[in-house]
Amino acid sequence: MGIKNKTKGFTLIELVITIGLLMVAVLVIYTIYDTGTKTFRSQSSQIVAENELRDSMDRILLECRKGISYSDIDKSITCTDYVDTFRIDGTTLKMIQTDRTTSAVTEVILGYDVASMDFEVDTENINIKLYSSIKDAKGDTIFVEAVYYKR
């Protein structure tokens, strides 16, 4: 009489196939998670950049309302008591405020990740554009634009 194995179990082939299917399932789940995380980070930085540009634009428009003269050559606004000049250092947008009587200079940071600024003055309005150094999900430049109509 031969020895019969009466224990129930899995063959080596069944174990290899099961582990392979499990690995494929884990890989699919990880890929979905990783893609979602990258998309979330990208959209978060895009939203932060857009909000920062809007906040910077709001401050510039506030200064435009106080202005009595404007220059697109040096990107400046002359107010009654001071002159605001806008400058980009690297990717930092700064407003340099110079007191007209004491010549005291105050530097205010308006935003980070700003690539460029257009400040076009004509007889009726001022067209301002701020461009971010951060790109959106499609690779396009993020920017905000505003027109201030002189009174």
Side chain identity, residue 72: D
DSSP annotation string for 77-114: EE-SSEEEEEEEETTEEEEEEEETTT--EEEEEEESSE
Contact (Cβ atoms closer than 8 angstroms) between residue 94 and residue 88: yes
Name the pTM for this structure: 0.75
Contact (Cβ atoms closer than 8 angstroms) between residue 142 and residue 46: yes
Query: In this structure, how many other beta carbons lie within 10 angstroms of the beta carbon of residue 86?
Result: 22
pLDDT digits (tens, 9 = 90+) for 38-68: 989 888 888 988 999 999 999 999 999 999 9
pLDDT digits (tens, 9 = 90+) for 90-144: 999 999 999 999 999 999 999 999 999 999 999 899 999 999 988 887 888 888 9
